[in-house]
Structure 1
Amino acid sequence: MLDLAIIGGGPAGLTAGLYATRGGLKNVTMFEMGMPGGQITGSSEIENYPGQVEIVSGMDLMESWPKQAMRFGLKHEMNQVSKVTKSGDVFTVELSDGTKQEAKSVLLATGSVPKKGGFKGEKELFGRGVSTCATCDGFFYKNKEVAVIGGGDSALEEAVYLAKMCSKVYLVHRRDTYRAAPSTIEHMKACENIEEVTNVIVEEVYGDASGVLGLKVKSKETGEIRDLEVPGVFTFVGRDVLSDSLKQDDGSYLCEVNEATEVVVDLKMRTNVPGLYAAGDVRIDAAKQVVCAAADGATAAVNIIEFLG
């Protein structure tokens, strides 16, 4: 039986694994279907991680984390967790390959995924000009015009990243103010080839068999439709948490979640189910920053060690 099953291999899961094994737990497995690192590996520029003076990509930042986390005995199993249940004091972790693992404690650190914008044509053209990853797909639009949809830090940061390779970037936002850090806004406004298209509603993205041909937006003030003829559209409009593994057969969740299915925890990362913890973007009130996810993982691990006694 596992002392601790960690579900998710991003900053929260890796840090929890490091602290749990270094703190004395002998049987700790981290379940992560792909390579550890988490969603941050798709970010183009990280300049606010403490101690990291140079601007680096998310991939570069996370490169050494798995090796460090596994120095003290953390095991990585490339498998996806489909469901977590509990009977008495024992958790059962059901895996996508049909096998099961029992554990004394569980940490959910599955994070989140980009939220869809919900506009016409998005689903049909996703992967054919509609993207949620500038680092992954930006190169395809070198010296071309693209549109970025969103008004938070991620949208503005990726607009700046794309502006370095694209001839022009339309920054499309439904409001005329941004939900981003002042420094991020300043960086964006300093880019001469970023045009702000604000206070608009995205009507549709359209295209043909070859992919995206353009994006239509409607002014909230005048109702006028504007056609942005771009081959690439990048959406950064928030994230959906990955808490489905806590869903039970009757549709309820193993522990308390809010309306957005974010896991409700206290300051020790404890849920209302003894032995079940959550850390990082999947929990309520998450700051959605790498340093905060790592702190959550460390906090959870310290308290799991205490819980197991």
Structure 2
Amino acid sequence: MSYDLLIIGGGPAGLSAGLYASRANLKNLILEKGDAGGQIASTSEVDNYPGSIKNATGPTLSMRMKEQCVEFGSEFKKEEFIDLKKDGKIFKVKTDKDEYEAKTVIIATGADPKEIGCKGEREYRGMGVSYCATCDGFFFRDLTVAVVGGGDSALEEGMFLTKFAKKVYIIHRRDELRAVKSIQDKAFANNKIEFVFDSVVEEIKGDGVVNGITVKNVKTGELTDMAVDGVFVYVGYKPNSAKFRDFVELDETGFIIGTEEMTTTTAGLFVAGDIRKKMLKQVITAAADGAIASVSAEKYVAENFE
């Protein structure tokens, strides 16, 4: 089967790309191994996407995005991407179920937040466990939260959370932070933040929603129970880029380096969403990436195939 555009990934970036491609009359296919929506599909509330309905949830917003794509002509298949090859100008894409050809391809496979790996983390994801303070910080107004991590993101997001939470514990496994000195100075000066060094979270507890954690001191082995209403995890992201490394340029952490037009080092291959190296990873920026990538793909097809 042959397409003008094949989109790998059905999160906000991929769905936005599909919508714009269909409106431009490009025959397009979106491949997604799971349900549409990517990370947002596991978010219980979405209040920071402009124009979303009141009390929108990740699943409802994702479903509407998918419906729009299909309404305008996108095809959607629940298949896992396996391999990418290029034969002349044509891309060949293999999944766990079929093989496809396309004039252009958009990589929108996203990045997964690294987990702590402790008991209760997955059980309470979206019910007090979060990986995005910008997304969920508002829901913890006047509550107590814990931030896990010691890098720039952990401290910056911890300081952001002090706008809402009455208390923020920053828990780090070492006795020194990894964040740059200027960020550390600001965090140490914030009277809402308390640091818990040489410690890891052993368990996240709750009763429907998070209400506490058990912290272990890595030097003494001592276990301490702490009452918190939320846990924000910032121990890094793992980009889903390994299968594309022969076609794109990656940064030191594995994110794909693309231009403002979403082009990569391979002609006809574009990138969009959280898989791309950029400052802010949000639904709105992913959707914007997808739109730009799709417009760039349309121009590429017009210049090279028509």
Within-5 A mapping of 1:1-309: 1-25=2-26, 27-52=27-52, 54-97=54-97, 99-117=98-116, 122=117, 125=118, 128-131=119-122, 134-135=125-126, 153=133, 157=137, 160=140, 170-172=146-148, 174=150, 178-180=155-157, 184-189=161-166, 197-203=194-200, 205=202, 214-217=214-217, 227-229=223-225, 236-237=233-234, 238-247=236-245, 253-309=246-302
Aligned residue pair count = 268
Contact 1:171 1:196 survives alignment (8 Å): no
Amino acid at match of 1:115: K
Q: Counterparts of 1:70 and 1:56 in 2: how far apart (Å)?
A: 20
Amino acid at match of 2:233: F
Query: Structure 1 pair 54/203, CA: closer, same or farther in 2 (3 Å)?
Result: same
Q: Could you list the runs of 5+ residues in structure 1 that have no partner in the other structure?
A: 139-147, 248-252
Q: Counterparts of 1:199 and 1:175 in 2: how far apart (Å)?
A: 14
Give 1:58 deviation, angstroms: 2.0
Give 1:303 deviation, angstroms: 1.0
Q: Could you list the runs of 5+ residues in structure 2 that have no partner in the other structure?
A: 169-191, 205-211
Relative to the length of structure 2, the TM-score reads 0.74
Contact 2:167 2:193 survives alignment (8 Å): no
Query: Structure 1 pair 235/83, CA: closer, same or farther in 2 (3 Å)?
Result: farther
Q: Counterparts of 2:253 and 2:289 in 1: how far apart (Å)?
A: 20
Contact 1:156 1:188 survives alignment (8 Å): no
Q: What RMSD, in angstroms, separates the aligned Cα atoms of the two structures?
A: 3.6
Query: Structure 1 pair 83/226, CA: closer, same or farther in 2 (3 Å)?
Result: same
SS of 1:187's equivalent? coil
Name the % identity.
30
Structure-2 residue corresponding to 1:250 = none
Q: Counterparts of 1:116 and 1:44 in 2: how far apart (Å)?
A: 18
Query: Structure 1 pair 86/36, CA: closer, same or farther in 2 (3 Å)?
Result: same
CA displacement, residues 215-258 of structure 1 (integer Å, 9 cap, x when unaligned): 2146xxxx7776333799956213211112314xxxxx222111
Query: Structure 1 pair 130/86, CA: closer, same or farther in 2 (3 Å)?
Result: same
Contact 1:94 1:101 survives alignment (8 Å): yes
Give 1:66 deviation, angstroms: 0.6
Q: Counterparts of 2:231 and 2:29 in 1: how far apart (Å)?
A: 35
Relative to the length of structure 1, the TM-score reads 0.73
Give 1:3 deviation, angstroms: 0.9
Give 1:289 deviation, angstroms: 0.9
